[in-house]
Amino acid sequence: MLRDAWLIAVKDLRIEWRSRVTLSQIVPFAALVLVLFGFALDANRPVLETATSGLFWVTVMFVAIMAVQRSTAVEVTDGARRALLLAGIEPIAVFVGKTVAIAAQLLVVQVLLVAGVIVLYGASVDQWVLLLVTCLVATVGIAASGSLLGALVAGVRARETVLPILLLPILAPVLIGATRAFDDALGSVAVDGWAWLGLLAGFGAINLVLGALAYGVLLEEI
Amino acid sequence: MTKINQTASAPTGTGSRFTFWLGLTVIVGVVVLVLLGFFAAPEDDEQGDAVRMIFVHVPSALLTYVAFSVTAFGSLMWIWKRSVWWDITAHAAAEIGVIFCGLTLFTGSVWGRPTWNTYWDWGDVRLVTTLILFLIMIGYLSIRSSGGDEGATSTRAAIIGLVAAVNLPIVNRSVEWWFDRTLHQKSSLTDGNLEDMTLFSLVVGIAVWAAFFLWAMIHRFRIAWLERELRVGDLNEAIAERRAEALQDESTQR
């Protein structure tokens, strides 16, 4: 199963690498959102510094929607999903593989976003370890629920508009938890960031299990 | 194509003798509730007339959670047993639940303005959790109305129903930790602070709204069942027509 999952992840990442969509569209979009927040908050440095964590994670949510949409589009085109099933790959391997691929792309974007908030918003990182662990754990949760919902909307006609409606409310705990943990890592608000990691880990674990259970049902049906 | 097992025969209309009397009871109940709520129940010492909002707010909040629990259970039964009956029940409960959830949020904010001096409080766990639940269930309904294969749509919606049910405790926990404070009252029914007449009116309110919920569920269920029969009937008819055409072509060719 793990070997198949690895194959799926490598396949998705190879497609991304060759098409350059993440690099040429998603990364510039993330940078653009950071700049737009700067305009919207009137380039007010103290306000930007206080709001950095929240703005960072809202940007990640937007990027996640794009990444999930890309990951879904790859499978919908030319009935690739049916071909995967016909190849005898277990649905759970497809789920894990696609989750890993989405997570990898999100992490790349987050590295650039961290650099972005340091340069544009004047943020300074107090605890690098907390920051890195938060990014990793939150990303697992986002990617797991993202790849499940991506498969869920795959056959829906207006999937581009339905996906954000479904995904964003479910990701609310990640937005809250990761923002608070980042507040601590950036030293902008005095909270215990490590305590929030437990919640993020719980969200990630539950959505991994849910996805693993539900993915098979979805792929058989559609 | 999904294999489905039908669990009951289709109804021919949305009303019955039972729903007629149930509907009548609801109308009488609403009149009694209005009289009790506006005239019999006294003003609250602290909240004044705003306390009367609980005769709508508390029952609709309770029924929201009942409705969404039915949706979650129905979703499970669709995935597990492929029960069309439960699938339609889950859909009906979700629609009615969204209406009650909206009503809960609306009456809550109207009540909050004079009492808490604000329409909305971000630090309140129940408020924010209920709003997120409302938004997730709007997503559920948009999947339901997205069209396409009947069985696939039901499965998609069922998974959303279950994802909502499983994630809700985490949403609740996250909001609770987020602000670590709440303005919300403890349960109005059990904290013992309500006047006798107010408490009595509240219990009547819950009974009346529950009866309305049942009435609406039965009608919505039957409408959904008839719609489904129509779609399946149309499809079968179209297939039969095409078959007849094909047979005709074959005989003329001979």
Question: What secondary structure, in 3-state letters, does chain B show?
Answer: CCCCECCCCCCCCCCCHHHHHHHHHHHHHHHHHHHHHHHHCCCECCCEHHHHHHHHHHHHHHHHHHHHHHHHHHHHHHHHHCEHHHHHHHHHHHHHHHHHHHHHHHHHHHHHHHHHCCCCCCCCHHHHHHHHHHHHHHHHHHHHCCCCCHHHHHHHHHHHHHHHHHHHHHHHHHHHHHHCCCCCCCCCCCCCCCCHHHHHHHHHHHHHHHHHHHHHHHHHHHHHHHHHHHHHHHHHHHHHHHHHHHHHHHHHHC
Q: Calculate how close chain B gets to A155, using CA atoms only, in Å.
A: 8
Q: What's at A142, amino acid-wise? A: I
Asked if residues A4 and A90 have their Cβ atoms less than 8 Å apart, the reply is yes
Cβ burial of B235 (10 Å; 0-12, 13-18, 19+) is exposed
* pLDDT score for B2: 43
Contacting residues of A for B143, CB less than 8 Å apart: 152-153, 156, 162, 166
The pTM score is: 0.86
CB A26 within 8 A of CB A63: yes
Query: In degrees, to the nearest 5, what angle opens at C-alpha A164 toward C-alphas B175 and B148?
Result: 125
Per-residue pLDDT of chain B (254 residues; tens, 9 = 90+): 344 445 556 566 788 889 899 999 999 999 999 999 888 878 777 777 778 888 999 999 999 999 999 999 999 999 999 999 999 999 999 999 999 999 999 998 888 888 888 888 877 778 888 899 999 999 999 999 887 788 889 999 999 999 888 888 887 777 777 766 455 655 666 566 677 888 888 999 999 999 999 999 999 999 998 888 888 888 788 888 888 888 887 777 76
Does B174 contact chain A (CB < 8 Å)? Answer: yes
pLDDT at A107: 96
Across the A/B interface, how many CB contacts are shorter than 8 Å?
Answer: 91
Measured distance CA(A97)–CA(A103) in Å, rounded: 10
Question: B80 in contact with A at a CB cutoff of 8 Å?
Answer: no
Residue type, A77: T
Q: Which residues of A touch B149 (CB under 8 A)?
A: 155, 222
What is the pLDDT, as a whole number, of residue A102?
A: 95
Structure tokens at A28: 């510039």
> Using CB atoms, which residue from B148, B167, B174 is nearest to A176?
B174
Amino acid at A59: T
At how many degrees (to 10) do helices A172-186 and B150-179 cross? 30
What distance in Å separates the CA atoms of residue A146 and residue B103, rounded to the nearest whole number?
30
Q: Can you tell me which residue has the tokens 């009397």?
A: B21
Residues from A contacting B (CB-CB < 8 Å) are 145, 148-149, 152-153, 155-158, 162, 165-166, 168-170, 172-173, 176-177, 180, 195-196, 199, 202-203, 206-207, 210, 214, 217-218, 221-222
| Domain locations along chain B | 25-180+196-253
Q: Is B159 in contact with A157 (Cβ distance < 8 A)?
A: no
Instruction: Give the Cα separation of B77 and A180 in Å (integer).
Output: 38
> A68, A202 in Cβ contact below 8 A?
no
Residue appearing with tokens 């949409």:
A69
Burial track A48-86 (b if 16+ CB lie within 10 A, e otherwise): bbbbbbbbbbbbbbbbbbbbbbbbbebbeeeeebeebee
Type of residue numbered B189: L
Shortest CA distance from B154: residue in chain A: A221
Q: What is the pLDDT of residues A91-139, one digit of tens each?
A: 899 999 999 999 999 999 999 999 999 999 988 899 999 999 999 999 9
- The SS3 of residue A155 is coil
CA B159, CA B76: separation in Å to the nearest integer? 8
- A84, two tokens: 């995967």
Q: How far is A57 from chain B (nearest CA, A)?
A: 15
| Pick from A73, A51, A84, A67: nearest CA to A154 | A73
Who among B132, B166, B175 is closest to A169 (CB)? B132
Predicted confidence at residue B190, as pLDDT, reads 59
Q: Which of A213, A205, A211 is nearest to B80 (CA)?
A: A213
CA distances to A30, A133, A221, B128 from B170, rounded to whole Å, are: 28, 20, 29, 12
List per-residue pLDDT tens for chain A, 222 residues long.
888 889 889 988 999 899 888 778 899 999 999 999 999 988 788 888 889 999 999 999 999 999 999 998 888 887 787 888 888 888 899 999 999 999 999 999 999 999 999 999 988 899 999 999 999 999 999 999 999 999 999 888 888 889 999 999 999 999 999 999 999 999 888 788 888 898 899 999 999 999 999 998 888 776
B123 and chain A: CB distance < 8 Å anywhere? no
Which of A61, A95, A165 to mutate to test binding with chain B, by most B CBs within 10 Å of its CB?
A: A165
Distance from CA of B135 to the nearest CA of A (A): 6
